[in-house]
Amino acid sequence: MSIKLDKFEVEEREGRLHVLVEMPPYNYNYGIPKDHIRTGEIQRLLTERGVEYGACVKEAHVKNWREATRRGEWIFEIPVDIPAEPVMIEEEKSVKSKRTRRTRSSTTKVSTEE
């Protein structure tokens, strides 16, 4: 089922991606059913339109059965291409073997009396 939208605007402001969404109001007589939109649907719509986005900073939940909740704004981070840094491979340092204790031949004291 496709989602009907009155407005779907994508703007880039202040280094972030702002997505403004407005749904048509619910009206049984005109065949506009009750519907709602969450972050998952917005991410799917952005992917379909070929817009790259990062993590979601501000979320909204838009419902078309009340006038106050028919509009919403989502804010996403803009992904930054970070060049791959060269990886420095360090040689492993040799580990000295742990010195083992010597076992004593006798634990009792031997007297040297004559």
Q: Please state the domain count of the chain.
A: 1
Q: Is residue 85 part of a domain?
A: no
Tell me, what's the pLDDT at 89?
74
Residue ranges making up the domain that contains 24: 7-77
Q: How confident is the model at residue 43 (pLDDT cuts 50, 70, 90)?
A: very high
- 91 within domain boundaries: no
Domain presence at residue 89:
no
In the predicted structure, residue 112 carries a pLDDT above the cut 70 = no
* Of residues 32, 31, 27, 11, the one with CA closest to residue 78: 11
In a domain, 29, yes or no: yes
Report percent pLDDT > 90 for the chain. 56
Residue 34 has pLDDT above 80, yes or no: yes
pLDDT range class, residue 113, cuts 50, 70, 90:
low
pLDDT at residue 1 is higher than 60: no
> Considering the domain boundaries, does residue 67 fall inside one?
yes
Stated pTM of the model: 0.66
Confidence of residue 18 (pLDDT cuts 50, 70, 90): very high
